[in-house]
Structure 1
Amino acid sequence: MFIPSINSDTATTMKLICILPVLLLASVKPAISSLRRYDSIFSFGDSFTDTGNDIVVIPPVIPAAQPPYGMTFFGRPTGRYSNGRLIIDFIAEELELPFVPPFLSHNGSFRQGANFAVAGATALDAVFFRDIPDVGLLVPNTSTSVQLRWFESLKPSLCSPAQECPGFFHNSLFFVGEFGFNDYSFAVFGNTIPQLRSIVPDVVKTISVAIEVLIKQGAMTVVVPGIPPLGCTPASLVFFPSADPADYEPRTGCLKDLNEIAVHHNFLLQESLENVRRNHPSVAVVYADFFTPVIEMVESPHKFGLTRNALRCCCGGGGKYNFNTSGPSCGMPGATVCEDPSAYLFWDGHLTEEAYRYIAQDWLNSIHNGSNLMGLQRIANI
């Protein structure tokens, strides 16, 4: 019987032919059985990801430490800026990992992950914002570089000797951000829109440097969220109202100029991530879209079971958007809360648990597909 010889190129082709149908089927729905298994999650970012660090940084009067925060899921305030779970919580659940504990207030083990995100955190160091009137001194010293130092300080408890760290982090899922939202939210108070646009490359570069640092530590899967639409947040709509209807998007009611800043940031960020991928072809660097899902819910709230006024907060102190800069905010005496937070996109200016649930599913698809593509790349290199 004649048995043809198989060279390495032919063998690789056969492996790809065998695995492609599996990947295509698996990409339809990222069920837990088809998702890559991770041993831990390490997360960096701001209030969209903070699971309780802010309570330590600015105790004890932060709103997220007071009821009705956490009312939908936890039944108590946990420091999360929502009525329940965040995107990071839904992803941890889907991956069958525990909720990622806040680095500053957790007394147990971090072997299954740590969350370094702090509400108000910026990509750029806090000193960059110090001279901005009214808000400069409010910027916390919890920037990307600070959070990376916290991560470095944690390493000896995770992997010792240090030579073991790359192997440990190979099986970890890393989240870098969302960063940038607060940079622009603070900077807009002291700058014109063109000036605000000019800092975008610096913000994106800072994020990219952080990714490179983590890859050097051994990270093999890094998820990098873009920023949500700045011009749709109740805070932006209240702080920067305009008498000119042309300043608002007709389909959403959001501020055009601020949304354009978000689009520009996300575009440059994705370009930067392409460079990182070229430099590290064996690493899954996944862009997580934060902009599109929020815009979808603002444009067509009925499709998601949301109230018609998608820009109005569930919890707040009154006014058109239930976000009052001079009155009580959510979690403070005098604030009100809606009966059904699941019918709202915005909780207190941040998102509700139901909105986070929808976005999390989209991100899980991105993580699943990105990990599969990197797995395919590694097989092709065998």
Structure 2
Amino acid sequence: GVPHPTPYLAGKSAEDFRRGVNFAVGGATALGPDFFESRGLKPFVPVSFTNQATWFKNVLQLLGSVHNRTRIMATSLFIVGEIGVNDYLVAFAGNTTVEEARAFVPHIVGAVRSVVTEVIAAGARTVLVPGMIPLGCEPQLLALYQSGDHDPASGCIKPLNNLAELHNRALNGMLRELRRAHPGTAILYADLYGAVADLIVSPRKYGTHNSHRLWSTQATD
């Protein structure tokens, strides 16, 4: 029954964002265009966490006094992500190897840390950070790496799922550090990897006999 938050670009006043604000943009990356261009890569859209952080600051200014902002921040739920999938997709579209993409992990996790730290500094007391999906089960990558090392149980690509697991371990490690630094803030991790992997391996539990079709549908929504 919770209403969808207003897309940032569709609102203009504090009243427009009274029930929340959504800064997400399809195809957006955690890392900025400079990071990719320095590696000969081109993002799908020119929007990253940097833009979204600026938009967040703009909304803060709409909320009036510092006291009012602090009150709203403390009673709001912040969801930072899920983000990072597009960073890896940009890399693979530019023929980056899975091994080379592993070097992206600390940069992406660092970008997440920066944004989480920023919302906490603004007064957030409840922050939810979703983890990475199983990349090796992503339809676009399954099509790209048809001859890859596939898991017989799921049909997913093992090296890509290993990359996603590496990402999630680094993300969890970073969140543990933030919890120690901000004991008054609830910093939560959402395990998207486990949820999606279970759906793919055990589709009948969720009312379907074709896990890849269901996953493809979810991935494009």
Q: Which residue of 2 aligns with 1:289?
A: 191
- Alpha-carbon separation, structure 1, partners of 2:186 and 2:218: 34
1:123 aligns with 2:30: yes
Out of 245, 248, 254, the residue aligned to residue 156 of structure 2 is 254
| Counterpart contact for 2:36–2:43, Cα < 8 Å | no
Structure with the greater alpha carbon radius of gyration: 1
Residue 156 of structure 1: how far off its partner (Å): 2.0
Residue deviations 1:54-92, cap 9 Å, x none?
Answer: xxxxxxxxxxxxxxxxxxxxxxxxxxxxxxxxxxxxxxx
Residue 311 of structure 1: how far off its partner (Å): 1.3
Out of 274, 278, 282, the residue aligned to residue 176 of structure 2 is 274
What is the DSSP-based 3-state SS (H/G/I as helix, E as strand, rest coil) of the residue aligned with 2:188? Answer: strand
What is the DSSP-based 3-state SS (H/G/I as helix, E as strand, rest coil) of the residue aligned with 2:215? Answer: coil
Q: Which runs of 5+ in 1 are unaligned?
A: 1-92, 313-343, 352-382
Residue 127 of structure 1: how far off its partner (Å): 2.0
1:350 aligns with 2:199: no
What is the DSSP-based 3-state SS (H/G/I as helix, E as strand, rest coil) of the residue aligned with 1:98? Answer: coil
Out of 110, 114, 138, the residue aligned to residue 209 of structure 1 is 114
Q: Which residue of 1 aligns with 2:55?
A: 150
Residue deviations 1:100-159, cap 9 Å, x none?
Answer: 1111124561122100000111111122223666xx44432211111010010111222x
Corresponding pairs, count: 218
| Counterpart contact for 1:132–1:190, Cα < 8 Å | no
What is the DSSP-based 3-state SS (H/G/I as helix, E as strand, rest coil) of the residue aligned with 2:10? Answer: coil
1:233 aligns with 2:138: yes
Q: Which residue of 2 aligns with 1:179?
A: 83
Residue deviations 1:228-266, cap 9 Å, x none?
Answer: 111101111112211x6xx00111000111111110001
Equivalent position amino acid for 1:105 in 2: A
- Alpha-carbon separation, structure 2, partners of 1:175 and 1:274: 17
Superposed structure 1 runs of 4+ greater than 4 Å apart: none
- Alpha-carbon separation, structure 2, partners of 1:215 and 1:187: 30
The normalised TM-score by structure 2 is 0.92
Residue 346 of structure 1: how far off its partner (Å): 2.6
Percent identity, please.
Answer: 37
Out of 68, 78, 102, the residue aligned to residue 164 of structure 1 is 68
